[in-house]
């Protein structure tokens, strides 16, 4: 059976490097399921693969959309990714999937349940709350309606909050229950390789990466995107904090510390999500080449 190798792990742990090594080992290609890396204007803040990394193995779904012009749903991603996977499996026995967006990984590996379309009335109500009371009001509402999903969702992404609350209102069921219902089996097997590290190491790497992003021009990237700060794709860690600095609400140092804090919180949610996934072969973050080759040879 054809095999999809999904690389999971918290932000900043080295998933891109591992994905490239595996793709080169099996002479195959990589699909990104990092929903923030889809957008070409957000390279620094999303730690998108560098030009050298993109050249080391063929990547798909990296920088193929514009945060300023394109709307892209998880359902459309599922459709596009499965179509590409079908084509790649004509010549490849294994394909690599990598990214930190758990729901997008789930869409490819397991499929999404049939969900109702957005209810315009519900959306308007939630957008009004967002506009007048802020994102904290939506966070509190979702926590009250569905604590399980609230624990794993990106709490700083209003689109995710709006969608979940809308579905709960329409169905009367917790969103976490709906998305975990059994779905049609995929025509390929999925093997997950997870990277893990002690929490203090993960947090240290995140702090260092944010500092490196700032050195590489994250502030300048945010300045260029500032006129478009209301775009949904930009409502994410690394940009919302710097937009508050540009609005004069925060100092730059405070904004950077908030990016680090929110990134650490995001990593904690990722770790909680990943612990619930089946079929995971865990590797330490500082794995040796011998460790990796031994694991990959066992998968052939």
- Binding residue numbers for ATP: 9-16
Terminal alpha carbon distance of the chain: 11
Residue 237 tokens, joined? 């860690």
Q: Which of 54, 86, 1, 45 is nearest to 210 (CA)?
A: 45
Name the DSSP letter for residue 127: H
Residues written for the chain = 300
As annotated, the binding site includes: 9-16
As annotated, the binding site for substrate includes: 11-16
What is the Cα–Cα distance from 46 to 237, expressed in whole angstroms? 9
Q: Give strand pairing partners of 257.
A: none
What is the Cα–Cα distance from 72 to 89, expressed in whole angstroms? 25
Our measurement of the distance from residue 34's CA atom to the centroid of its chain's CA atoms, rounded to an integer in Å, reads: 4
Residue 268 tokens, joined? 């904690």
Residues whose CB is less than 8 angstroms from the CB of residue 21 and which lie 6 or more positions away in sequence, other chains included: 292
Name the DSSP letter for residue 14: S
Burial environment of residue 83 by CB neighbours within 10 A (0 to 12, 13 to 18, 19 or more)? exposed
Name the DSSP letter for residue 6: E
SS (H, E, C) 238-264: CCHHHHHHHCCCCCHHHHHHHHHHHHH
Q: Which of 109, 106, 35 is nearest to 73 (CA)?
A: 35
């Amino acid at each position: 059976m054809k095999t999809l190798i999904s690389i999971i792990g918290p932000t900043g742990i080295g998933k891109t490097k591992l994905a490239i090594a595996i793709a080169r080992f099996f002479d195959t290609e990589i699909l990104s399921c990092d929903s923030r890396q889809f957008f070409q204007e957000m390279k620094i803040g999303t730690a998108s693969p560098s030009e050298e990394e993109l050249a080391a193995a063929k990547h798909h779904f990296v920088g193929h959309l514009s945060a300023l012009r394109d709307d892209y749903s998880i359902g459309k991603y599922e459709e596009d990714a499965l179509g590409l996977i079908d084509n790649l499996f004509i010549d490849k026995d294994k394909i690599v999937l990598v990214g930190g967006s758990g729901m997008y990984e789930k869409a490819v590996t397991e499929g999404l349940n049939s969900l109702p379309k957005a209810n315009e009335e519900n959306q308007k109500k939630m957008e009004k709350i967002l506009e007048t009371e802020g994102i904290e009001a939506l966070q509190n509402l979702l926590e009250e309606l569905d604590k399980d999903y609230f624990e794993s969702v990106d709490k700083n992404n209003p689109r995710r909050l709006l969608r979940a609350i809308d579905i709960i209102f329409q169905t009367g069921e917790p969103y976490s229950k709906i998305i975990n219902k059994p779905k049609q089996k995929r025509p390929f097997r999925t093997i997950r390789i997870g990277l893990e590290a002690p929490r203090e190491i993960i947090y240290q790497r995140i702090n260092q990466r944010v500092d490196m992003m700032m050195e590489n021009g994250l502030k300048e990237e945010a300045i260029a995107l500032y006129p478009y700060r209301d775009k949904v794709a930009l409502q994410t860690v690394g940009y919302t904090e710097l937009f508050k600095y540009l609005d004069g609400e925060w100092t730059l140092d405070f904004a950077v510390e908030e990016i680090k804090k929110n990134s650490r919180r995001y990593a904690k949610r990722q770790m909680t999500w990943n612990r619930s996934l089946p079929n995971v072969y865990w590797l330490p973050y500082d794995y040796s080449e011998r460790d990796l080759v031994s694991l990959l040879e066992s998968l052939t």
